[in-house]
Homo-oligomer: A and B are copies of this chain.
Amino acid sequence: MVVVGAGIAGLVAARRLTQRGIDTVVVEARDGVGGRLQNGELFDDVPIDVGGQWVGPGQHRVLALLSELGLQTFPTHVAGRHLAEIGGKRVTYTGRIPRLSPRILADLGQAQWRLDRTARRIAERTDPWRDREAQHLDGQTFASWVQRTARTADGRAFFRLATQALFSAEPEDLSALWALHYIGAGGGLDSLIETDGGAQQDRVVGGTVRIAEELAAQLGPRVVLGSPVTDIAWDPAAGPAEPTGVTVSGPGTRVHAERAVIALAPTLAGRLRYSPLLPTDRDQLTQRMPMGRVIKINVAYSEPFWRTAGFSGQANSDTRPMGTVFDNCLPGDDRGVLVGFLEGRHADAAARMEPEQRRRAVLDDLAGYFGEQARAPLAYLEKDWAAEEFSRGCYGAFGTPGTLTRFGPALRAAVGPLHWAGTETARRFPGYIDGAVESGERAAEEITAALG
């Protein structure tokens, strides 16, 4: 078999196939494995995550994989007071709930209750487009849904911030059905936005890319790097039961196999040339699932000065461009690291700035949260995922309105010898590493079943 893409989805699929004695090659465009998981160099000596970096409770597949691969996790630092700026008010708090006014808390409570109730119902079905409200929810933006559900301006501001943090998109961009499906499939809003007890709870020692590296090490020479794929050709004449195989090629690359797993985000998969052309449902789907947009920034200091001041390092704001910040210190290292995200429209604005101007804006925000010391970093490392040729955005793709109800089944439906993987296709935790693992396992199962 051949797998296109050495992100977690592709590597998991290849490993499972190989374990079953099925000869498999993985072809990867980048010079390294991991896809949206990547290490950067903030200090000369220590790698740090510049892509997806967290795992959390309920993400059983990735947790099992970490354990199987012998990789260690460590908790995100949460001790101290968190910071929140909502509706022009600055509060510090510990635990889950900022001390906002009772009126805002009541509004958030009822809106989140409605959101979670519907999101869980959608997640209980395997396919969100079969939900009884699917047409209604897919016909509106998440912004429209929030507008009707949250009754206060501050409540709506909270949902905008949460949308940016989860999707690196604006509530206006997303189908409400996609948003609810995604949140439900991740176990509800708290499960996704929380640190302790949620999807930001734990980090991987050495970086999450270690998962990909360990998988690749097991696959050895079966992983071929630096080989962008541009063309996928197969012969439909033989019929679906007996395909004559598929040829995957690019400049300097040509692999023939019985079946292929395309482990790429929908937009990237849509930019390959297929012969014969893909079914139109599948092509239309790939035209309508854009990537989110985020610039991730790690900033290093000689020490974690915010801890000394009693802060956890976790900060959120509905007005600052860098609306979400966490303590990102490295284990066994005395230096301080903060990580922040410019998401959605904030990424648009920041990407149009000169690097020096952007750095200043980021340090302004950090100083606003934690004080003037934030203006004198040891090191500064930014990663604009929309500018990555082989990602074109992060954290993941999202469904624009009408897409899931019109083309949802094409997300996973195999086409002749072509099987689709990637976190966007997952039933649980789509957009997360856990979803990527699920999708790779499913694609491998499809192929195993097809081989009889």
Residues of A that sit less than 8 Å from B by CB: 135, 138-141, 143-144, 169-173, 230, 267, 270-271, 273, 277, 280-281, 283-284, 287-288, 290-291, 293, 345, 348, 351-352, 384, 386-387, 389, 392-393, 400-403, 405-407
Which B residues are CB-close (under 8 A) to A406? 170, 173, 345, 348
Instruction: Please state if A290 and B288 are interface contacts (CB–CB under 8 Å).
Output: yes
Which B residues are CB-close (under 8 A) to A140? 140-141, 143-144, 172
Contact among B283, B290, B384, B407 with A392 in the assembled complex (CB-CB below 8 Å): B283
A242 to chain B, nearest CB (A): 21
Copies of this chain, how many?
Answer: 2
A171 to chain B, nearest CB (A): 7
Which 5 interchain pairs have the tightest Cβ spacing?
A287-B290, A139-B172, A173-B402, A400-B400, A172-B402
A216 to chain B, nearest CB (A): 26
Instruction: Please state if A139 and B139 are interface contacts (CB–CB under 8 Å).
Output: no
The complex places the Cα of A401 from the Cα of B144 at a distance, in Å, of: 11
Which B residues are CB-close (under 8 A) to A277? 387, 389
Which B residues are CB-close (under 8 A) to A389? 277
Which B residues are CB-close (under 8 A) to A405? 172
User: Which partner residue on chain B sits nearest A169 by CB separation?
Assistant: B402
The complex places the Cα of A208 from the Cα of B276 at a distance, in Å, of: 29
The complex places the Cα of A172 from the Cα of B402 at a distance, in Å, of: 5
Which B residues are CB-close (under 8 A) to A402? 141, 169-170, 172-173
User: Which partner residue on chain B sits nearest A389 by CB separation?
Assistant: B277
User: Which partner residue on chain B sits nearest A171 by CB separation?
Assistant: B139
Instruction: Please state if B173 and A384 are interface contacts (CB–CB under 8 Å).
Output: no
The complex places the Cα of A352 from the Cα of B406 at a distance, in Å, of: 12
The complex places the Cα of A267 from the Cα of B267 at a distance, in Å, of: 10
Which B residues are CB-close (under 8 A) to A139? 141, 143-144, 170-172
The complex places the Cα of A273 from the Cα of B250 at a distance, in Å, of: 12
Could you say which of A169, A172, A386, A406 has the most chain B C-beta atoms within 10 Å of its C-beta? A172
A269 to chain B, nearest CB (A): 11
The complex places the Cα of A257 from the Cα of B171 at a distance, in Å, of: 42
Which B residues are CB-close (under 8 A) to A401? 141, 143, 172-173, 400-401
18 A-B residue pairs with Cβ-Cβ distance under 8 Å, sorted by A, are A139-B143, A139-B170, A140-B144, A141-B141, A141-B144, A169-B402, A170-B402, A172-B401, A172-B405, A173-B288, A173-B401, A280-B351, A281-B348, A284-B290, A284-B291, A288-B400, A290-B400, A348-B407
Contact among B172, B288, B293 with A280 in the assembled complex (CB-CB below 8 Å): B293
Which B residues are CB-close (under 8 A) to A384? 280
The complex places the Cα of A351 from the Cα of B285 at a distance, in Å, of: 14
A386 in contact with B280 given A172-B402, A287-B267 (CB within 8 Å): yes
Which B residues are CB-close (under 8 A) to A281? 348, 351-352
Instruction: Please state if B387 and A280 are interface contacts (CB–CB under 8 Å).
Output: yes
A8 to chain B, nearest CB (A): 22
Contact among B138, B284, B291, B348 with A172 in the assembled complex (CB-CB below 8 Å): B138
Instruction: Please state if A291 and B287 are interface contacts (CB–CB under 8 Å).
Output: yes
The complex places the Cα of A69 from the Cα of B170 at a distance, in Å, of: 47
User: Which partner residue on chain B sits nearest A145 by CB separation?
Assistant: B144
A140-B172, A172-B405 are known contacts; what are 12 more A-B pairs with Cβ within 8 Å?
A: A140-B143, A141-B144, A141-B401, A173-B401, A173-B403, A271-B271, A277-B387, A284-B293, A287-B290, A290-B400, A345-B406, A400-B400
Instruction: Please state if B284 and A393 are interface contacts (CB–CB under 8 Å).
Output: yes
A163 to chain B, nearest CB (A): 11
The complex places the Cα of A144 from the Cα of B273 at a distance, in Å, of: 36
User: Which partner residue on chain B sits nearest A387 by CB separation?
Assistant: B280
